[in-house]
Structure 1
Amino acid sequence: MSSKGPHTDSLDTWKIKMGTQKNPDKFFMSITEGERKPLDFLRVLYDGCIAGGVAGVIVETVLYPIDTIKTRLQVVRGGGQIILKGLYSGLAGNLAGVLPASAIFVGVYEPTKQKLLKSLPENLSAVAHFAAGAIGGAASSLVRVPTEVVKQRMQTGQFRSAPDAVRLIVSNEGFKGLYAGYGSFLLRDLPFDALQFCIYEQLRIGYKLAAKRDLKDAENAMLGAFSGAITGAVTTPLDVVKTRLMVQGSQKHYKGILDCVSKIVKEEGTHTLFKGIGPRVLWIGIGGSIFFSVLEKTKQVLAQRHTQDEAQN
């Protein structure tokens, strides 16, 4: 006669269904990716680069028109009209920058996150996610800023092609012209990256604990959309300042971040700092949904491939 009661039987049945009979802690450790196996830095870096590159290119291609409208809304002054032609202007050149930038970001974020999660107490997982997002953003900014400068100037009709844009920017403004608005970009994107990934990761942890299972693709997409929309709305003023500084070219209407904020508020009103918030929230919300679902799916496929390779060797 078994000494197990009905409660024990049901618990064991649940463990079998969850695939955790041999290691009951496996599922819960995987929630914060705090498993005790050594960190394979190169593999995590490689997988992160592949997953980030794939997710970044797909999001940029699908949502580029919304981003173009957002940029034109932020640049126009007074009662100027928004041009709706050429919404894919500069896409090809932008993808050439988005691919390595996204790869660098996730490639740095994933191993940094896992290292911090192993080093910090479990109740500080949010700090690990926030810090990893900021570090990943800083690393990718070396590629993202020139890409953003060229993209936004093409979106506003200043240049017809990416090669022409790069050549003329360097010719008229020097190499530093490709990094116009770099300070404002970091001011916007470091907190944006840190907040978005922190919110997303923390939501995933809570959802996993509540559901007692891994998330489905649709659930990852939902959490990605929510974290993207919230972060996009909060950082819109920083995005407006970044856009104005990047597209001003050699005119130098603004001397810097503080001067830009001051002139926008004085000449156009505080509400101008929230120009384009609708397209931005829509773009980043949908983008977050696509990005995180593609990211998680690609990571899952790569992990399965590694497992199969190890089984064959």
Structure 2
Amino acid sequence: SDSTVLVCQTRVQASTITFPEILSKLPQLGVRGIYAGSIPAILGQFSSHGLRTGIFEASRLVLINVAPTLPDIQVQSVASFCSTFLGTAVRIPCEVLKQRLQAGLFDNVGEAITGTWQQDGFRGFFRGTGATLFREIPFYVAGMGLYAESKKVSLILI
């Protein structure tokens, strides 16, 4: 499953053992080990996607009213940028917790939260923000543009 692959990938990245060695240890991990980090991953995905979509729509409406002559593609791009930037504020802490759980650094979400806070403070929850934004902004600007265009097409078809 995808979760199994992510756990294996995270453990390989967090250690010096190889992917085949991790695969051979899957039976020892058990179900709990295979699905480690699922709770923050699910919460992060749902909340950040909902937040991103809401911010996209709100930003788009503000831009249309503030700058009515701005071309649609620019409105969509700026709204996508805003929504991605703000949406990752929820997702990145969830990703940090997920990865630390998958790497076996903590046994449960509560320990991951308190341990991250004790080790790294508030900034620890946002480790990797720059790299994440560098990866996600271009992807989501294109994706949200396609989302907006598909909404237009669906309205024409209805």
Please classify the TM superposition score into its range, dividing by the shorter chain length. 0.7 to 0.9
Normalised by the size of structure 1, how large is the TM-score? 0.40
Q: Does 1:145 align with 2:83?
A: no
Q: Deviations over 1:10-46 (max 9, x none)?
A: xxxxxxxxxxxxxxxxxxxxxxxxxxxxxxxxxxxxx
- Which of residues 91, 94, 111 is equivalent to 2:38? 91
* Equivalent-residue separation in structure 2 for 1:194 and 1:71 (angstroms): 27
Shift of the 67–78 alpha-carbon distance from structure 1 to 2, 3 Å rule, reads: closer
One-letter amino acid matched to 2:13: V
Identity of aligned residues (%): 22
Alignment gaps of 5+ in structure 1: 1-62, 215-313
* Equivalent-residue separation in structure 2 for 1:164 and 1:69 (angstroms): 18
Q: Deviations over 1:65-124 (max 9, x none)?
A: 2772685398278982154544421212333444433332222111212333453448x2
Shift of the 70–190 alpha-carbon distance from structure 1 to 2, 3 Å rule, reads: farther
| 3-state SS of 1:89 partner | coil
The number of residues matched between the two structures is 148
Q: Which has the higher contact order (CA 8 A, sep 6+)?
A: 2
Assess if the C-alpha contact under 8 Å between 1:64 and 1:88 holds in 2.
no
Q: Does 1:213 align with 2:157?
A: yes
Deviation of 1:197 after TM superposition, in Å, equals: 0.8
Q: Does 1:187 align with 2:131?
A: no
One-letter amino acid matched to 1:81: F
| Correspondence list, 1:152-191, <5 A | 152-191=99-138
Shift of the 128–145 alpha-carbon distance from structure 1 to 2, 3 Å rule, reads: same
Root mean square deviation of aligned Cα: 3.2
Structure 1 segments of 4+ aligned residues over 4 angstroms from their partners: 76-79
The match for 2:3 is: 65
| Higher Rg | 1
- Which of residues 70, 80, 83 is equivalent to 1:133? 80
The match for 1:75 is: 13
* Equivalent-residue separation in structure 2 for 1:74 and 1:105 (angstroms): 31
Q: Deviations over 1:219-247 (max 9, x none)?
A: xxxxxxxxxxxxxxxxxxxxxxxxxxxxx
Deviation of 1:145 after TM superposition, in Å, equals: 1.3
* Equivalent-residue separation in structure 2 for 1:80 and 1:173 (angstroms): 28
Alignment gaps of 5+ in structure 2: 27-32
One-letter amino acid matched to 1:213: L
